[in-house]
Homo-oligomer: A and B are copies of this chain.
Amino acid sequence: MSKKLVIGMFGFGVVGQGLYDIIKTKDLNLAIKKFVIKNPDKKRSLPAELFTTDANAILEDPEINTVVELIDDAEAAFEITKRALSSGKNVVSANKKMIATHLEELTEIQQQYGTSLLYEGAVCGSIPIIRNLEEYYDNELLHSVSGIFNGSSNYILSKIFNENQSYDVALKKAQDLGFAETDPTLDVGGYDPKFKLAIVASHAYGIYINPDEILNLGIDTLGDADIRYAREKNYKIKLIPLAKEVENHQVVLYVLPKFITNANILYNVENEYNGVLVKAAFADEQFFLGKGAGGHPTGSAVLSDITALRYDYRYEYKKHLDAQQVKYTKDYTIRVYFRYEDENVLENIEFINISERFYSENHKYVIGTINLQEIIDKRSVIHQQGNFIAEII
């Protein structure tokens, strides 16, 4: 009943190596035939004949029916994925940027060629959220999907709140441990969770929104005054992407830091863990927890996708094809805490209502409601050193 997979893999990092090791020991009816790598001179732990730098060794090998794409470069990954899908090969990818940016075209190619692209590993590591949104939660009944989608920034926030570290010290530690990149902007700036949010939104509500159209503000300007404020109120700060139906068939999407209390289940999601919170009519809250960052969690999702391809599993994208009536909106009122340095900045931003205002020598903030569109319009004013914005209940 299960189809024998012959796999060609692009990239041979932690994930690829781990996959190879586990596939070897298990009776999974699949084999890795070839790795395409960038650097032919690097020493490899496997026989040299498994490696090549020539993409065609995979893409033009008719025996290879499955491509696993694990490279960093989103555009190169897109080209590989397109070629593979168009030539009858199924693809597994964990490249969130590639998927988020090109999902519409990738969906069409799959329809056209009858091939399957799976990417559970692109969103929240080992948590099978894409399939659950695709298969289990009808968009009519889905109130919201949110959570902690980025292990690096969550690790930093955990160090800050549980071990009293400053932002800079915590970031440095995360970098030393390999939980954050040398240029951490993708993570702490909220870009990585935004790519994941765009993918989540497509499987939750059937809408394909270019990540450029989605607001993301991160924790990169988080300061000691904000941390002190959170502590005084028994809050933690978490970086939270949100997809939410705000009115009938209108969906709002954004990534913002958020003050949360211990009544929120995300409060206890710490370090490199990811958590996804699904609110649905009738079901209340559903919560999914698993490791988000690192080679193994991603590898496990990739492996689940690979094993599913033995049974020709594919995303049907039925919400996208069926439910065209769902619309993306940026007209949504958010309650925020906004710390600022310069009074001119505050004067330039139009709040709907300001309910609290605080001045001291080294901490000035307001708490009030503001329209999402206004945050988007004033993003460059809001997002500068000296300022920090976060959602607050």
Contact at B313–A284, with CB atoms within 8 Å?
Answer: no
**Additional 13 contacts, C-beta under 8 A, given A18-B282, A283-B291:** A2-B318, A128-B136, A131-B135, A131-B136, A132-B132, A135-B135, A138-B307, A283-B290, A283-B297, A284-B290, A284-B300, A285-B291, A289-B289
Query: Shortest beta-carbon distance, A347 to chain B, in Å?
Result: 45
5 closest residue pairs by CB, A with B: A283-B300, A282-B300, A126-B283, A287-B289, A138-B307
Query: Shortest beta-carbon distance, A345 to chain B, in Å?
Result: 41
Pick the residue among B27, B138, B300 that contacts A140 (CB under 8 A): B27
Nearest to A138 among chain B residues (CB) is: B307
Known: A280-B300, A290-B287, A303-B141. A308 touches B1 (CB 8 A): no
A265 interface hit (Cβ, 8 Å): yes
Pick the residue among B131, B288, B299 that contacts A287 (CB under 8 A): B288
Query: Shortest beta-carbon distance, A235 to chain B, in Å?
Result: 20
A86 interface hit (Cβ, 8 Å): no
Nearest to A306 among chain B residues (CB) is: B138
Nearest to A140 among chain B residues (CB) is: B26
Contact at B313–A297, with CB atoms within 8 Å?
Answer: no
Report Cα–Cα, A135/B307, bound state, in Å.
9
Contact at A126–B284, with CB atoms within 8 Å?
Answer: yes
Contact at A296–B283, with CB atoms within 8 Å?
Answer: yes
Contact at A22–B282, with CB atoms within 8 Å?
Answer: yes
How many copies make up the complex? 2
A301 interface hit (Cβ, 8 Å): yes
Report Cα–Cα, A54/B174, bound state, in Å.
66
Query: Shortest beta-carbon distance, A291 to chain B, in Å?
Result: 5
A286 — which chain B residues lie within 8 A by C-beta?
A: 126-128, 288-290
Contact at B318–A141, with CB atoms within 8 Å?
Answer: no
Report Cα–Cα, A311/B316, bound state, in Å.
10
A225 — which chain B residues lie within 8 A by C-beta?
A: none
Report Cα–Cα, A311/B285, bound state, in Å.
25
A281 interface hit (Cβ, 8 Å): yes
